[in-house]
Amino acid sequence: MKVSYHGHSVVKIETEGKTILIDPFITGNGLTDLSVDDLKVDVILLTHGHNDHVGDTLQLAKQNDALVIAPFELATYLSWKGVKVHEMHIGGAHQFEFGHVKLTQAFHGSSYTEENQTIVYTGMPSGILFTAEGKTIFHAGDTALFSDMKLIGERNTIDVAFLPIGDNFTMGPEDAAVAAEWLQAKTVVPIHYNTFPVIEQDPVAFAESLSGKKGRALAVGEVIEL
């Protein structure tokens, strides 16, 4: 399995011949190396409805006939815009042909802002536990620190955890360091920083602050092989 980081909260997973994108915010993401028009994707996983996470989901799903997996209300909303969806909810897991997906809680909001100054609420935000080839990836989505991360760490052997460090909207570096301890992940990768001035952080300093040399600030496009 190959896992790579593409700026903001965009994570790409390649497993069993399938390409999976988490939170594909590409248009408007000044830090990404991806371009929407030539991006091949089979499956899109969404943590919540905010526009910096749904991103280019509609175009990508339509041009690739990709499946969109998201919390129920968000998936339903996107299905009305003409894409194939699989609805899930927090605590629920499903074995797909490409891997096992379980949604966890996240402490955040979930809404989609339309161009006509309308906010559509899209249920609860989530994190994602993704398991394939015997390896588990945790993408925390956007979230505050919460103590049930200990439970997620106890009940799952997490190989790589992607944790937001941007502060303001999510955990900052200090809270994310506590999350890293509680989740007991073998590798912790910071996400959701430097895309906008209000979430500027030093990802290398964060990675170096973690015990056990488990922190790893990935360059955009950098791949972890599992």
Tell me the closest approach of the beta carbon of residue 104 to Ni ion, in angstroms: 15
Give 87 or 167: the residue with its C-beta nearer to Mn ion. 167
Cα 140 to Cα 114, 185, 191: the distances in Å are 25, 12, 9
**Of positions 56, 73, 87, 142, contacts Mn ion by CB under 5 A:** 142
Phi, psi of 77 (to 5 degrees): -60, -45
- The three-state DSSP-derived secondary structure of 99-139 is EEEEEEECCCCCEEECCCCCEEECCCCEEEEEEECCEEEEE
Give 9 or 19: the residue with its C-beta nearer to Mn ion. 9
> If you search the block for the tokens 């536990």, which residue do you land on?
129
Give 52 or 159: the residue with its C-beta nearer to Mn ion. 52
**Of positions 142, 159, 167, 175, contacts Ni ion by CB under 5 A:** 142
Tell me the closest approach of the beta carbon of residue 188 to Mn ion, in angstroms: 18
Stretch 21-50 residues interacting with Ni ion (CB under 5 A):
50
Mapped onto helix, strand or coil, the DSSP state of residue 19 is strand
Tell me the closest approach of the beta carbon of residue 109 to Mn ion, in angstroms: 10
Tell me the closest approach of the beta carbon of residue 46 to Mn ion, in angstroms: 12
d(CA 118, CA 192): 24
Give 77 or 98: the residue with its C-beta nearer to Ni ion. 77
**Tokens at residue 175, please?**
């809270």
Question: Does 52 help bind Mn ion (rule: CB under 5 A)?
Answer: yes
- Name residues whose C-beta falls within 8 Å of residue 226's C-beta, 6 or more positions apart in sequence: 1, 2, 3, 133, 135, 159, 160
Q: Which stretch binds Ni ion (CB under 5 A): 67-75, 76-84, 96-104, 134-142?
A: 134-142
Give 39 or 140: the residue with its C-beta nearer to Ni ion. 140
Tell me the closest approach of the beta carbon of residue 110 to Ni ion, in angstroms: 7
Identify which of 146, 141, 203, 166 has the alpha carbon closest to the alpha carbon of residue 9.
Answer: 141
- Start-to-end CA distance of the chain, whole Å, equals 5
Site residues (vs Ni ion, CB under 5 A): 50, 142
Footprint on this chain of Mn ion (rule: CB under 5 A): 52, 142
